[in-house]
Structure 1
């Protein structure tokens, strides 16, 4: 009970006691009210005290409900959903997410070889319409490609294709492992709404589920930080918002 409520309660209790004193005290005790008024005063004070107690109880219950709601909102911000996705399903979902993005899109492809367009019409459409899809998005798009001798032509093709496209940047990442599965993980992100873990167990497409789609603000932000700190910051920029960095190959590690 808050301090002002306590003061009001005690003042009403004092009124009740004073009213009882007027009615019950011996006749020779000093009294400031005529007989009969003390009982009315005590009843009024008791009624006001009960009303005050009821109002305070209601206030505490509302406050508890508000606290529970705030706690739920705090917890819900940390909740995430995870959906397992096959590669063919990824290429059906991802292009539309890129088109609808409004702020930031992060993309990685960390395979040793260029993408092999062989698994579904959706995959074929995605890579054939890559420039159109990126240009149609209102988001700033950053793409990281794992560098290898087998992907050099593919990377140069991307740089040429997106040169002059102001919302697209491209960087290459040199992985310390010379194996199909890199040390880093391929991740993708759409604004603060969706994040993807790509090729979690394998890069070459099989009949197995390969990717994970995550939702939840904190999970997506964690993927954003991973992309920024582990991949983009350690990469070599090839294309900076549509502007070609002509000396990027000179900065490659031997």
Structure 2
């Protein structure tokens, strides 16, 4: 948990004292009112996080803001174009490369923090880039959206957070018990496999947090990995839990 209170300095100088961090004012910040509190805009905040915090922290937050909800329950909180425009305010300042690294990787298709973490791990272990939210039309006429798919390899992947099986996500939305969710997911997997002939690989938080464990899981599933870290990857290797 954060231990400091982060504030925007009233001047162009920043300082840190008594558990408070004041960040230098640039003069281009957008200030909004939320429930009576004056705060920096979402776009300002995300870009500042990208330049100061580990890439995984920033990527998870940016993905969540950009998410386009398939169900239409909510719209994206901001757009990639808005973030690009705000990033232009930081050109020439420290952290520009980190901002670019986050914005290059961010997507509107990550439906959970685990999916964001998984994409970062794919890159770290040299896994081929998957298709995100690949659509398969089931015999029932419904569409199944696969978290990750490698159609040319005949493999798809599902990032399974505990919420799905503890009744906090799908079960909460449908009134199904956790056991019913598990059974429904198994039937869905069987139907997808029957239609596509693809192999399914599943992982949870514990798998994704452990790089070696995740690499082993992918190799056993038949995914070809390049053990050489992509250019520039090592400089972004520091990861902090969000």
TM range (shorter): under 0.3
More helix by share: 1
- Which protein, 1 or 2, shows the higher relative CO under an 8 Å CA cutoff with sep ≥ 6? 1
Whichever of the two has the greater Rg, that structure is 1
Q: What TM-score do you get using the length of structure 2 for normalisation? A: 0.23
